[in-house]
């Protein structure tokens, strides 16, 4: 318990440090934030054009797709806020031999890494996502109750756990091969399946996105919860996220045993 509390304190310290750095050059930060919100707003516009100029997505109205897009932007923001700096940081640490220092710290190396990825720039996507979601929510005249809020929070937490697992797998590979190259793009392309409604995919892929690749937990299920049409597979997806995270830790521990310093 003390270890978990310590890791949360470490995350809070990194968060404060990131905010302090951003406030040193406030104009640059505010300009970047404004640009981030504008760029994030392009995605809903593209979805609107696709929906109006094509047959759209089966089972989804325009308002529902806008809600999905808003939640997707919100998820991107949460992901970048919590872990936006992690990939580049761990690759630089391993390449320069600085990763060895983590092995001497009183906390697990992967815990320190996961607590060190805070990136304030992700707040732009969060703001854009919340704005788009509110507009879509009002258009759809949706209602919220305690059960809806509880399920929504469960989906978000499970989504964070899944992304942590994906990140741990990434870090485990970096520790072994040092230079990722285009494998980083491969990770991104695989996770991109979660950027679209799961029910537009073939049945076998829909099953995969709930079980051993439960990317549907990131945006699809939060949207389904708010639309009051979630099914029991949410439980399967949430449990799968926890199991995948457990597996990622096992893989990480094995990679540490095979780690060879790249430092000179």
Those residues with Cβ within 8 angstroms of residue 178's Cβ, 6 or more apart along the chain or in another chain: 94, 95, 262
As separate numbers, helices (DSSP H) first and strands (DSSP E) second, the chain gives 11, 0
**Residue 178's pLDDT is what?**
66
**Residue 5's pLDDT is what?**
82
**Residue 181's pLDDT is what?**
67
Phi, psi of 60 (to 5 degrees): -130, 130
Domain coordinates in residue numbering, the chain: 2-257
Q: Are residues 78 and 126 in contact, defined by beta-carbon separation less than 8 angstroms?
A: yes
pLDDT in tens, 157-183: 999 999 999 999 998 888 888 666 677
Residue 94 to residue 28: CA distance in whole angstroms: 30
> For 173, how many CA atoms within 13 A lie in the half-sphere containing its CB?
14
Tokens, residue 1: 């318990």
Would you write out the chain's pLDDT as a tens digit for each of its 264 residues? Answer: 677 787 778 888 878 887 787 777 777 777 877 777 777 777 777 777 777 777 777 788 888 988 999 999 999 999 988 888 788 888 888 887 778 888 777 788 888 888 888 888 788 888 889 988 998 988 898 888 999 999 999 999 999 999 999 999 998 888 888 666 677 778 888 888 888 888 888 889 989 999 889 999 999 999 999 999 988 899 999 999 999 999 999 999 998 887 776 554
**pTM of the complete model:** 0.89
pLDDT in tens, 53-63: 777 777 888 88
């Amino acid at each position: 318990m003390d270890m978990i509390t310590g890791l949360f304190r470490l995350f809070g310290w990194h968060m404060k440090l990131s905010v302090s750095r951003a406030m040193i050059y406030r104009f640059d930060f505010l300009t970047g934030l404004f640009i981030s919100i504008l760029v994030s707003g392009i995605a809903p516009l593209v979805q609107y054009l696709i929906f109006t100029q094509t047959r759209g997505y089966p089972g989804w109205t325009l308002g529902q797709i806008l809600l999905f897009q808003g939640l997707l932007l919100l998820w991107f923001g949460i992901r970048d806020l919590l872990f936006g700096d992690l990939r580049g940081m761990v690759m630089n640490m391993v390449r320069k031999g600085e990763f060895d220092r983590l092995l001497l710290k009183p906390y697990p190396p992967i815990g320190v890494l996961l607590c060190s990825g805070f990136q304030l720039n992700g707040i732009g996507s969060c703001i854009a996502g919340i704005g788009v979601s509110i507009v879509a929510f009002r258009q759809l005249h949706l209602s919220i109750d305690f059960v809806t809020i509880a399920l929504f929070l469960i989906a978000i937490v499970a989504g964070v756990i899944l992304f942590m697992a994906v990140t741990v797998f990434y870090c485990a590979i970096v520790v072994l091969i040092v230079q990722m190259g285009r494998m980083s793009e491969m990770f991104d392309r695989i996770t991109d399946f979660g950027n679209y409604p799961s029910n537009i995919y073939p049945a076998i892929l829909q099953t995969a996105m709930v079980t051993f690749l439960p990317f549907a937990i990131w945006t699809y299920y939060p949207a389904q919860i708010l639309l009051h049409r979630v099914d029991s597979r949410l439980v399967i997806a949430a449990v799968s996220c926890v199991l995948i995270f457990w597996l990622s830790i096992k893989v990480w521990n094995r990679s540490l045993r095979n780690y060879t310093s790249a430092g000179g």
